[in-house]
Every structure is written in C-alpha cells, then in structure tokens.
Amino acid sequence: MSTADSPTDLMERIVALCKRRGFIFPSSEIYGGFNGFFDYGPLGAELKKNIRDCWWNDMVRRRDDIVGLESSIIMHPKVWEASGHVAGFTDPLVDCKVSKQRYRADQLFFAAVVVDGKTVGYVSALESERTAEELQAAAENFKRKKGIQGALLSVQPKDMTEAKPEEIALIPSPATGEPGSLTPPRSFNMMFQTNVGAMTDGSSVAYLRPETAQGMFVDFKNVVDTGRVKLPFGIAQIGKSFRNEITPRNFIFRSREFEQMEMEYFIHEDADWAKCHQEWIAWCQAWLLSIGLPESHLSLYAHPKEKLAFYSKGTVDIMFKYPFGVQELWGIAARGNYDLTQHATASGKPMEYFDEATKKKFVPHVIEPAVGVDRILLAALCAAYAEEDVKDEKGNVEKRTVLRFSPRLAPVKVAVLPLMKNKPEIVDVAEKLYRKLKRKWNVFYDESGAIGRRYRRQDEIGTPWCVTIDFETIEKDGTFTLRERDTMQQRRITETELFQLLEERVY
Ligand code: GAP
C-alpha cells in the first residue's frame, strides 16, 4: 500500500476526498465557512448514522443492563452550576494583543535559547508532532540571525501554562514572530451561553450542553423509578454537545459542535470499581475493533493520579494514531459518586438507590465511557484511506484510492451495476435486485461508464461489494458477479447467497 507522503499531505488528501465525494463540507461554506463547524454530506450522514447505530445496538439494545435516554440540550442553568461546569469548565487562554490571535496556553510551546549557559532569547511554536524540532530549528535561526557565537544548548520545550511572569514578555507571538504581545494565560469558560425567553438579562442565561453526561445524572431518579433497572445498570445517550473551543483544529477532531455517545454505568458503592473500569476499557477496545479500527492504531493512556479531578478514581483514554499524532479517542472515567451527590445537594432531591437485598440506601458510583462520534468517524476515515497501484483490464498500472471501511460502517453496502444500460433484460433484473436490497440496506445503482470506472468510484467511497448483472445472469443461471473491494476478486453469487453475506457482515 502506498499512502501520501507526509502526515499533512495525507490529511489534506483525506479532507479533499471528503469534500469531493460528499462526506464532509465546511459549515456555511458559501459565506466563507465557520471555524469549528462542519456539515456532513450524503455519504458522511450515512457513515455517521452507521456509527451511532452500531454503538446503540451494541451498547443498549443487545444488552440487558443498559437503557437509553434522550435529554434536552438546554437544561436548567443550575445543572451546570452543580456539575462544576460554570466555575471550572475552562481552558487556559493566551491572547496576542497585536494580531488578535488567541491560543490555548497548553498548546503554545516556548523554549529559552541558551548559548554557553546564558539565556539570550526565546522562541515559540504551536503544538504539533514536531514541536521540539521546530523549536530547536527556531533557536538555531535566532542565534544565527543575532550573530551570537558559542554552543547552543538543546531546547527544553514548555507550554505557556509553565511560563514564569518575567518570561511572558520575552516570548515571541507565533503570529508576529515578535515578543511583547502575548498576555499571561487566563481561564476561558468553554460553554456557549444563550438566553431563554423574551428577556436577555442575567436571569435568562442558559447554556448549550458541553457534554451529554449530565442528562443521565439529572434523570437518574426518573429512570430508576420507571425503568425497572437494578444495579449494576447503565444509562446511555447519543447527542450533540457544544464547546467554544479556543483552537478548533485537525478537521473534525476538535470542533465546536460535535456529537457524543456517553454511558453512565452505575454500580454499588462497595463494588469493585477498578474491575468494572477495566471491563469497560476492554469492552470499548473490542467495540472499536468490531467497527474495523486496526489494533495497531490503538493504545491506552492512564491519566496520572496527580492530574485527576479530586473526585476521580481513575481515567484511561483509548488513544488513536491519527495522521497528525496519537490523540484521545475515548475516555473511560471512574467518577465515584460525585455527580449524583452534587445534584442531590444542589436540588435538595435525594439521588439514592434502595438496595432490596440489604435494605440500605446509598448513592451509586459510576463508570463513564465517553466518546465523540466525529472522532470515531475521523479515525475510521484515516484508518480506511489507502492509495495503491493496481492494473486495469488492459494491464496498465493506475492509481486507486480506496476507503477500506468495515461493512458495518460503509455508507453504501452494495453497488448494483448493470453491465450495459441499453439492454432492457439486464436493466430489469438490476433494478429489481436494487429495489429488493434497498429495503434493508443503503445501496447504490450505477449504470454509467465502463465497469472498471464504476468499481473505482465505489472503491473511493468504501463500498465493500459491487454486484454486476451481466449476460450470464440473464442467459444462464441468474447468478451475479460479486466483486470485493479489498481483494478486487470476482466470483459468481446467487441472490440468496448475496443476502446471506450482507446479513452476516452488516450487523
Ligand atoms: N462526560 C465526559 C466528557 O465529556 P470529554 O473527555 O471532555 O469527557 C468525551 O469528552 C469525548 O468527547 C472525547 O473523548 C472526544 O471523543 C469527544 N470530544 C470532546 N471534545 C470534543 C471536541 N471539541 N470535538 C470533537 N469531539 C470531542
């Protein structure tokens, strides 16, 4: 397999393919786009729906211990006070007073330029896979430009949250290259505010939810009282969340409007939370493999104890190797009974569970696997994308771009291709098959162009199978040619076998 040359190149090609084939568009593109917002086109909407459906089926419908929920996006503002978001859902922000650019302080790196043991200046760079190299190159450049003689020490990168007050004025802004314009980091609350009702004063302030999780905590009692659930059990939700990210970036990886799939798994206060945590980490890893993400791209990151919130017992992130670096895909947190206790205190309504066996009441603890649909979609796109040299029917080498989506995720499951569009007998069979398949799956009908070209078009959008209706179909035994995307091999298949194949592989 040959892919693009550099990670940036590769991302650019994936973004271009998404635009070209109708997966993802910049939001409000005719008005110049809107930073941090995206639209999903026809194929992207299908792909996203398949991710949601796989998760919902596996997480909720196929289990006996998890129920679903759909809570409102705008909740009572007291929810966000109790959860700690109003006071603490912040990122450190640095402004450049000259360029008016804003940076997340923990993503803006700097280093002292040290020559012969003496600090002679500072350099800065934005976080990337190559931050250390960029800072080193900038330090060498700085020394050369200033004509400073002596031995340059290897740079020691730090982020702006670690900058001492006296250093801030000396660190150059990445926008201007000059020092003196960066402000000290300050806390920036990432919740989007709105007003509910006709008044627009402080009394009507509300927030677009920054996570779906609080819906599960706030409705905990309602579900327990109505859902016939017994501990341990989970409440799951899929829905939009909104964060006013300072620096949305890496395409849909970090955006301002995104979709989360979260599940709160409530356990007994005395349960072995560490075991349950491990089980959910394993479940999430297995689920990612089931939708076709390669094991080689997945790893685990355990948050260091000293960086955890005071109530958290442990958080492990499943990381994914994106072209722009290894980044968080799925967080699995053991949150104790913090959230339910907070809401009980703030609302004055008990959030306890009555244990029939012991006749005791207690506030359950929770394990929370929380993942972004858009991040899974981007991981699936990046893992699936390949460019290869293949031979056409005449033996000439040509490039094929292919998305090797798992059949579970592929936006189009089968393409139905009549070999010739001017042979009514062929077209008739093809149309009938297309209509029959379409009742259950998203299927595409394509009769235009040479068959090889049609295969390529399907490869590029990740369709796992093409079915060609040809002369053998109508003149011999009614079988079709099944062409597989990954091997490009062809074989004859009956209609019954085709339906069986789809039932088995698309679940
Ligand atoms: N309730 C816990 C919670 O929301 P989080 O780590 O802030 O935890 C969970 O978010 C997941 O949501 C992340 O692992 C990521 O997949 C996704 N996510 C978070 N912020 C995002 C953003 N700005 N854009 C896209 N996905 C995001």
Contacts of 118 (CB under 8 A, 6+ apart): none
* Three-state SS sequence of 130-197: CHHHHHHHHHHHHHHHCCCCCCECCCCCEEHHHCCHHHHCCCECCCCCCECCECCCEEEECCCEEECC
Contacts of 68 (CB under 8 A, 6+ apart): 56, 60, 235, 236, 237
CA of 74 to the centre of ligand 1 (A): 18
Q: Please, are residues 483 and 468 in contact by the beta-carbon 8 Å criterion?
A: yes
Q: Nearest C-alpha to atom 15 of ligand 1 is from which residue? A: 372
Mean pLDDT, rounded, for 319-331? 96
CA of 486 to the centre of ligand 1 (A): 32
Give the atom of ligand 1 at the shortest distance from the alpha carbon of 213: 1
Q: Please, are residues 159 and 109 in contact by the beta-carbon 8 Å criterion?
A: yes
Q: What is the pLDDT of residue 26?
A: 96
Q: What is the pLDDT of residue 431?
A: 97
Identify the band that residue 201 occupies on the pLDDT scale cut at 50, 70 and 90. confident
Q: What is the pLDDT of residue 423?
A: 93
Contacts of 153 (CB under 8 A, 6+ apart): 114, 115, 117
pLDDT tens-digit map of 210-242 = 999 999 999 999 999 997 899 999 999 999 999
Report d(CA 455, CA 489) in Å as an integer: 12
Report d(CA 422, CA 426) in Å as an integer: 8
Give the atom of ligand 1 at the shortest distance from the alpha carbon of 331: 14
CA of 399 to the centre of ligand 1 (A): 37
Identify the band that residue 4 occupies on the pLDDT scale cut at 50, 70 and 90. very low
Q: Nearest C-alpha to atom 16 of ligand 1 is from which residue? A: 372
pLDDT tens-digit map of 337-376 = 999 999 999 999 999 999 988 999 999 999 999 999 999 9
Q: Decide the pairing of beta strands 414-418 and 465-469.
A: parallel
Report d(CA 254, CA 334) in Å as an integer: 24
User: Does the pLDDT of residue 2 top 70, yes or no?
Assistant: no
User: Does the pLDDT of residue 498 top 70, yes or no?
Assistant: yes
Q: Nearest C-alpha to atom 20 of ligand 1 is from which residue? A: 254
Range with the poorest average pLDDT among 304-318, 332-346, 456-470 = 304-318
Ligand 1 binding residues, C-beta < 6 A: 211, 213, 243, 245, 254-255, 258, 260, 262, 328-331, 370-372, 374-375
Site to probe by mutation for ligand 1, drawn from 83, 192, 211 as the one with most ligand atoms within 8 Å of Cβ, is 211
CA of 495 to the centre of ligand 1 (A): 43
Q: What is the pLDDT of residue 309?
A: 84
Residue 391's CB is within 10 A of a number of other CB atoms, namely 10
Q: Nearest C-alpha to atom 12 of ligand 1 is from which residue? A: 372
Q: Is the pTM of this model over 0.85?
A: yes
Site to probe by mutation for ligand 1, drawn from 51, 241, 329 as the one with most ligand atoms within 8 Å of Cβ, is 241
Q: What is the pLDDT of residue 1?
A: 42
CA of 98 to the centre of ligand 1 (A): 32
User: Does the pLDDT of residue 3 top 60, yes or no?
Assistant: no
Site to probe by mutation for ligand 1, drawn from 55, 258, 317, 327 as the one with most ligand atoms within 8 Å of Cβ, is 258
User: Does the pLDDT of residue 393 top 80, yes or no?
Assistant: no
Q: What is the pLDDT of residue 310?
A: 84
Q: Nearest C-alpha to atom 18 of ligand 1 is from which residue? A: 372
CA of 427 to the centre of ligand 1 (A): 48
Q: Decide the pairing of beta strands 74-75 and 205-208.
A: antiparallel
Q: Nearest C-alpha to atom 23 of ligand 1 is from which residue? A: 254
Q: What is the pLDDT of residue 6?
A: 76
Q: What is the pLDDT of residue 395?
A: 84
CA of 261 to the centre of ligand 1 (A): 9
User: Does the pLDDT of residue 249 top 80, yes or no?
Assistant: yes
CA of 329 to the centre of ligand 1 (A): 8
Give the atom of ligand 1 at the shortest distance from the alpha carbon of 333: 2
pLDDT tens-digit map of 478-490 = 999 999 999 999 9
Q: What is the pLDDT of residue 5?
A: 63
CA of 91 to the centre of ligand 1 (A): 14
CA of 460 to the centre of ligand 1 (A): 29
CA of 175 to the centre of ligand 1 (A): 28
- The pLDDT mean for the chain works out to 95
Mean pLDDT, rounded, for 163-191? 96
444-448-453 Cα angle (round to 5) = 85
Report d(CA 25, CA 6) in Å as an integer: 23
Mean pLDDT, rounded, for 66-92? 97
